[in-house]
Amino acid sequence: MMLIHGFMGSSADWVDADGVPLFSGERRVVAVDLPGHGGTVVTGSGESFRMENCAAGLIGLMDTLGLDRCDLIGYSMGGRLALFLALEYPQRFRCVVLESASPGLKTLDERKARIAHDEKLARRLETQPLKDSLTDWFDQPLFASMISSREKFDALLQRRLENDVSGLCLSLRMMGTGVQPSLWTRLDRLSLPLLLIVGGKDTKFQTIGRDMVARGKGVTMEVIDDAGHNVHFERPATYAKCVERFLNA
User: Measured between alpha carbons, how far is residue 10 from residues 31, 34, 134 in Å?
Assistant: 8, 7, 15
What pLDDT is attached to residue 75? 97
Number of domains in the chain: 1
Lowest mean pLDDT among 29-38, 63-72, 135-144, 227-236: 135-144
Question: For the segment 107-139, what is each residue's pLDDT rounded down to a tens digit?
Answer: 999 999 999 999 999 999 999 999 888 888 888
Radius of gyration of the chain (CA): 17
Mean pLDDT of the chain: 92
- Please name the residues in contact with 25: beta carbons below 8 A apart, sequence gap of 6 or more: none
Residue 6 to residue 76: CA distance in whole angstroms: 5
What pLDDT is attached to residue 19? 65
Residue 155 to residue 54: CA distance in whole angstroms: 27
Domain containing residue 64:
2-247
The pTM (predicted TM-score) of the whole model is 0.94
Helix axes 130-138, 108-127, angle to 10 degrees: 140
Residue 129 to residue 139: CA distance in whole angstroms: 16
Residue 179 to residue 150: CA distance in whole angstroms: 34
User: Measured between alpha carbons, how far is residue 231 from residues 1, 33, 140, 146 in Å?
Assistant: 18, 19, 16, 9
CATH code, domain carrying 144: 3.40.50.1820
Question: For the segment 228-246, what is each residue's pLDDT rounded down to a tens digit?
Answer: 999 999 999 999 999 999 9
Residue 2 to residue 133: CA distance in whole angstroms: 29
Mean pLDDT of 189-194: 95
Question: For the segment 125-182, what is each residue's pLDDT rounded down to a tens digit?
Answer: 999 999 888 888 888 887 878 877 777 888 888 888 888 899 999 999 999 999 999 9
Residue 243 near residue 229, CB atoms below 8 Å: no
17 pLDDT higher than 70: no
